[in-house]
Structure 1
Amino acid sequence: MPAPVFPRLLVSALACLFSLSQLPASAQAIGPADETRCLLLPLDPARRAQAAALVVEAEVLSQRSYWDNAHRRIYTANTLRVYKLLKGQWPAAAPLTVVTEGGAVGDTLQTLTNTLRLSPGQQGLLFLTPAGFAGAAPAGAWTAYASRQGFVRYDVVTATAHEPFRQYPLLDENFYRAQTALTGQALRELVPNPALAAALRRRQHPAEARGINAPLITDFSPRALVAGADSVLTISGAGFGAATGSVEFRNADDGGVSFTRVSARDVLSWSDARIQVRVPSYSSTADPAGSGPFRVVTADQQAAGSPPLLPFTVRYALTNVQETTSGVTYRPGHINQNGAGGYTFQPDPALASNAAALAAFGRALSSWRCQTAINWDLGGARTARGIGNDGVNALEFDQGAELPTAVLGRTTSTYAGCREANGTIRFWAKEIDMQFDDGVSWQFGPGAPSSAQFDFETVVLHELGHGQQLNHVIAPLIGGVPQLVMHYAIGRGQQTRQLNFGRDVLGGYAAQLRSLAPGACGPAAEQPAPLTAPLGAQVQGGRVLLSWGARNECGGMSFDVERSPDARTWTRLGQVPAAGAATYAYTDGQPLGGTSFYRLQVQLANGLRLPAAPVGVRESGPPLLLYPNPATGPLLSLEYNAPAPSNALEVRIFDAVGRYYGGQRLVVPQAGVNALSIGLPPLRAGWYVLRWDDGSAHGAVPFVRVE
């Protein structure tokens, strides 16, 4: 059905009506009082103002991330310019350092859900206390009280502001008067704020009143897509201008109360009548795009909202992480961290002793495992406790003030990365830690929560979704209850223990497909549950014997055995039903000649199929082959017949007279023939040799480079 076309005057009127409807007459609370936002509990503004020692209006200028002294946690020191002082003392023109949790150091990143992240260019009101992070805070540094709720974020396009539970329609005298009534100190302007002043002038003198044609969105396509998957939205209209502006989507982290601007690299094309933009899950402020009307902001800061009669939907949002040097975002995957296919969560002694809480966590974990084949297990109790970069996927209740004020719980993900032969970076979840507030009234189940309780299984299912590498979405409500687990808010008395197949499950499935593909660098890829190790393949008597292990199977599972001559085109050989066995076997009685590849597809009860990494077999021939030969492009493909998995295969390139041109250390994920690749250094046409060494054997393979 073709998209409806609206007359320009009608669309303009509707867009104006929409934009005005977003600006309440006075500061408004957002959502019911018993609802969390990103697992934040509502914080009384008077309590916040009283607790803060310093309250300032400021802008983030720059950032620097660093490890704490124990090399367990990453923090970010943000340098800010202070415009106004509302409480405490601060010298004019002096830079302010605000420390936030998480950040990136080299190719290691740490992200924390439900925790304040700042970005250069952001402005807002900060309620600060002296930074008390042991072994991590520079002298004289500050941190936001209650983390995300200690920052009232400004929108300098519309001169409005918002925080997780409140929005402010205009940053005028009334706004500042209300704040100083809470801080008990007169407002003092330290330096002018030109961006905010310009926004206020635009509010007082709209474009139409100044004789300027306002931009207009008339249509867009598609109507629904996925954030963080390089999905492209095409926007049609008029008055966008020749100079590139930006596109801003509803911020899924706060339910769409604010807008989040795409990064400049996500704007693919821009003209006066047409824009193409990638829909991000990691915007310029590290927020995911959400469902709801979006807006175009021109280079001269004129804004146009999408037509309210044309709904825009983000079906699910795949987590992205950003490489700090280039600013490029990547989708991280999972690995075989525990040597048994994936990850093992370990509770601390306090949570391990709470049988009901542990059972609720196990039910939530099984929901994701059985619906997406994420290879997670719940292990035994650990003797130590604490969240940090220690190789343990911790599961615990907090003690004292370990969580920020009014935070119900959060997930800390530590990512690592390596550069592949084609220049891209592979990021993976190195560790996933979860911590929950021990002072909350929880319902651990299996009974339903009361109106005063939070349902632990619902909260854990949501946080495990973040571990699955999914971000928040803005979900439809039925009877006031969100229909998606990854909805940004959870309320008291809410029970959402079932994954939505079309949104939650398919989002997890998309994340899984990326995780299961073997990487050209870094550790071995995750195995789809219930597999515990890579497929074993052995040539014997003209047949190929396949074997694999499994544990904790879900009902309705089966294993499809597939074969390929090139690891690209696959043919199904047979199916083995899951029967609760620890090991399985299958024999290919008529194997292909030369090199052939085998893989398992795990078939789930919901109809989804997930491929495990392939393994190759070759009856004879040298351990390492390379192609194409002659080499013509930037990459060289290798087939390495490995006796065992290894991180120690070194390859080096020399010319005919022995000059060294470079080398790499490659990850060999499994025994058998592995398909690998390396990036070639700049080489002139001529004869070369690739020398390889795996620690127990070595060899040399000549090749020719042609122009």
Structure 2
Amino acid sequence: MRHPDFIDSKTDNPHQSMTTILPTPDRLWSRSAAILLALLLSVISFAAQASEDLHMVPIPLEERIKAADIIVEGEVVAQRSFWDARQELIYTAHTVRLFKIFKGEVKERQVEVITDGGTVGLAMHTVSSALQLQKGQQGMFFLSRGAPTGIVASAASIITRPYASRQGFVRYDVERGTAADPFRQYKSVQEVYQAVTSRMGQQYKTVVVNDRLDSGLKAQLKQQSTQATQAVVVTSFSPARTSAGTSAILTINGTGFGSSRGNGFVEFPNADDGGTTMVRPYASDYLSWSNNQIRLRVPSYTQTGGTAGTGQIKVTANDGTSGMSAGTLIIEFAYSNVVAEGGNTPFQPLLIDANRSGGYTIQFAPSMQNRAAAQEGFRRAVNNWVCTTNVNWIIGAATTTESSADDSRSVIRFASSAVTGQGVLARTISKYRGCVAISGTRRDTTFWLTEFDMEINSNISWQYGPGAPATNQFDFETVILHELGHAHQLGHVILPNTLMHYNIGRRTQIRDLTPPDIAGANLVLNRSLTPPACGGRSAMTPKLDGECNLASEIFTFDAAFTNAGAVEVIWTTSTEQGIARFVVQRSQDGQTWEDVGQVPASGQARDYTFTDSSPLPRRSYYRLRVVYSNNSEAFSGRVLVLNPSDLRVFRVYPNPIGLTTNANGSPGETLRIEYLVRSTSTLQLQLYDIQGRQVRDLEATVTDGTDIIEVNVSDLASGTYVLRWSEGNNSGVTKVVKLQ
């Protein structure tokens, strides 16, 4: 269901009645108060509802019990992150000390639990749906034996993975004696025991007494007896509406907080599970603490895992007494933060110019290439973000890579639930690098996003659009818009009817960004217009030429060379109400377009084919200009086509060097190399003088969008040189001459 604020219902153009109208900032924010009021009302009504899906399909407890090889109660006592054997992905190994065994033969007193993502030095991977564990956390683990591919298991410990990702852990609140998983809250840990043992028909085995849990229960009883006479009272807080992870400061007023923080803490509802659990900020987020007032930053990265979300705030004093605010804090958006290895200070990562074209190039893996409707749904989602926030994303040529490796490529692929996690709809893997700039005694740490990959669960029943999802379907475009929000560095919120709301259920359809989503994205992009203080990376350049006037009637669109040397353009429509004709357009650079032919509309949904018998050399782009009966126009997305006769052909110019001149009249001293490929590859270059001495040794990355390498030879003497090159299984030698 589209938000009514983004529909122009007054036009008599049948095309425009189906198209999202992108408001100007003034128009958008002049109405944002009304929209946010509606969102606030939805928050109030939502509080009484049970969540259906947290970007996951609920896995019943019975299924988790049956599928898990091992079910244990334990505590995370140690953690270490590491690269896999190929240096492609980062994982984290958690050493879990066992207290009770509910299922499985476990002779050891501990197991290793491997989760996706982690931090090694200044390299970091985060996975949007992965289970996050913190040292000291206790709970019940539903585990599958075995290590992920590329990880060598240690003989000293049992290596396991959580079954169903985040649903494979029931987290204990040791101080209060309660427990929760992503879809259920338990009033007591004993209730968890009963739920599992009653379904298994057997009791658990105690490995060692859980003293910390027992002590927490006793302390809770003692606290309840003193709470009435020595209570924490939260009287007010400001502001009432804020954001997380942006350094926004929250002031909490009341009594009984204590003269200093000590072991006291503030808790927020966890936006990653809709408030089923609570999260605590890092110590570095507290600015001041007195008996009557607390000032702190609202966190998106917390010491207990998770993001601060909308809801009531809880304050716990050093003596263990606590109090909850009467009012609800609204957190409109969250800027995803990261923390360095071994650190406790969150940082705001930047978007950068990763592709030398101002941003990031997205590539479809083979598993995505045979799903035309999925590609078009993904393109619509990308265009929505680009046209609304100017984030610099482009969809490049397809890749042969079917993995999410750390390889400077943003790859989109389908994967089974064994990869994504059982019940997970889709997940975004954000990969970061960092550096430390030192100035005197000051150390400034900066992180930036190098790439993002996305894995979409192939076991889910998807509606790719543009039609609405059926009863048991998930809306593909809605989920992809949400996952792209994670790539934009936005975290979850508890704010129904917004794109980054933690909960997407079957048939839920949100295909437009809402004001909170846009505000968060704009803040991230504005920060990213300044390059990292170190690391030598360039800032992102806003993309102002996005394909924003898209025809929603185009269901699929593609173009490719035939064996006869022509380009065949094919498309499918979902409806043709009010369409007069389709004009096929072509461009050498993706900016200046020419008409190459037209096809009349049939008036009903069907497949079309058009052949361009005189295609352009090397690289070209194709799109449709859709003309309506009232002479209005819209466009399809564009596709890149590479002439196969130009692929992997090595060209050098100018040769001789020095025939051309610069603007000041001096001889040109830049050697340009052209090498066209379908997907990202590495070109090795070695330049030798006539005596066989190597004077250059270069490695360049070439892609479908970047095929020109410039080499400055101003320091070389005139004469004859030999240029050797290699790329994959291809190689060659070219003679190069430099004039005086």
TM-score w.r.t. length of structure 1: 0.68
Match for residue 76 of structure 2? 60
Match for residue 126 of structure 1? 141
Match for residue 45 of structure 1? 61
Whether the aligned pair in 1 keeps the contact of 2:179 and 2:192 (CA below 8 Å) is no
Stretch of structure 1 that moved more, 518-527 or 426-435: 518-527
2:332 is the alignment partner of 1:315: yes
Per-residue Cα deviation, 1:392-443 (whole angstroms, up to 9, x for no partner): 1110111472221111110001100111244211211111000111121111
2:95 is the alignment partner of 1:75: no
**Displacement of 1:504 after TM fit?**
0.3
Whether the aligned pair in 1 keeps the contact of 2:300 and 2:306 (CA below 8 Å) is yes
Whether the aligned pair in 1 keeps the contact of 2:230 and 2:321 (CA below 8 Å) is no
Aligned pairs for 1:99-498 within 5 A: 99-139=114-154, 140-172=158-190, 174-208=191-225, 212-244=229-261, 245-307=264-326, 310-399=327-416, 401-422=418-439, 423-475=443-495, 482-498=496-512
Match for residue 90 of structure 1? 106
Query: In structure 1, what is the Cα distance between the partners aligned to 2:714 and 2:437?
Result: 25
Q: Name the SS of the counterpart of 2:195 in structure 1.
A: helix
Per-residue Cα deviation, 1:237-275 (whole angstroms, up to 9, x for no partner): 111223421111000000111101111221222222221
Whether the aligned pair in 2 keeps the contact of 1:516 and 1:527 (CA below 8 Å) is yes
Q: Name the SS of the counterpart of 1:292 in structure 2.
A: coil
**Displacement of 1:30 after TM fit?**
7.5
Whether the aligned pair in 1 keeps the contact of 2:282 and 2:344 (CA below 8 Å) is no
**Displacement of 1:194 after TM fit?**
2.9
**Displacement of 1:64 after TM fit?**
0.5
Query: In structure 1, what is the Cα distance between the partners aligned to 2:416 and 2:462?
Result: 16
Q: Name the SS of the counterpart of 1:47 in structure 2.
A: helix
Structure 1 ranges of 4+ moved more than 6 A: 694-697
Aligned pairs for 1:583-602 within 5 A: none
**Displacement of 1:212 after TM fit?**
4.6
Stretch of structure 1 that moved more, 203-212 or 427-436: 203-212
Counterpart residue type for residue 496 of structure 1: I
Query: In structure 1, what is the Cα distance between the partners aligned to 2:92 and 2:82?
Result: 6
Per-residue Cα deviation, 1:211-245 (whole angstroms, up to 9, x for no partner): 75121111111111110011111111111223421
**Displacement of 1:206 after TM fit?**
4.4
Query: In structure 1, what is the Cα distance between the partners aligned to 2:394 and 2:538?
Result: 16
**Displacement of 1:339 after TM fit?**
1.3
Stretch of structure 1 that moved more, 80-89 or 490-499: 80-89
Whether the aligned pair in 2 keeps the contact of 1:87 and 1:185 (CA below 8 Å) is no
Corresponding pairs, count: 508
Counterpart residue type for residue 294 of structure 1: I
**Which structure 2 segments of 5+ residues have no match?**
1-46, 551-588, 593-663, 665-669, 672-711, 716-740
**Displacement of 1:523 after TM fit?**
4.1
Q: Name the SS of the counterpart of 1:99 in structure 2.
A: strand
Query: In structure 1, what is the Cα distance between the partners aligned to 2:474 and 2:590?
Result: 38
Identity %: 40
Counterpart residue type for residue 488 of structure 1: Y
Whether the aligned pair in 2 keeps the contact of 1:126 and 1:151 (CA below 8 Å) is yes
**Displacement of 1:184 after TM fit?**
3.8
Structure 1 residues 30 and 89: alpha-carbon distance in aligned structure 2, compared to 1, 3 A threshold: farther
Match for residue 44 of structure 2? none
Structure 1 residues 204 and 325: alpha-carbon distance in aligned structure 2, compared to 1, 3 A threshold: closer
Whether the aligned pair in 1 keeps the contact of 2:426 and 2:454 (CA below 8 Å) is yes
Whether the aligned pair in 1 keeps the contact of 2:268 and 2:308 (CA below 8 Å) is yes
Query: In structure 1, what is the Cα distance between the partners aligned to 2:473 and 2:171?
Result: 30
Whether the aligned pair in 2 keeps the contact of 1:52 and 1:145 (CA below 8 Å) is yes
Counterpart residue type for residue 132 of structure 1: A
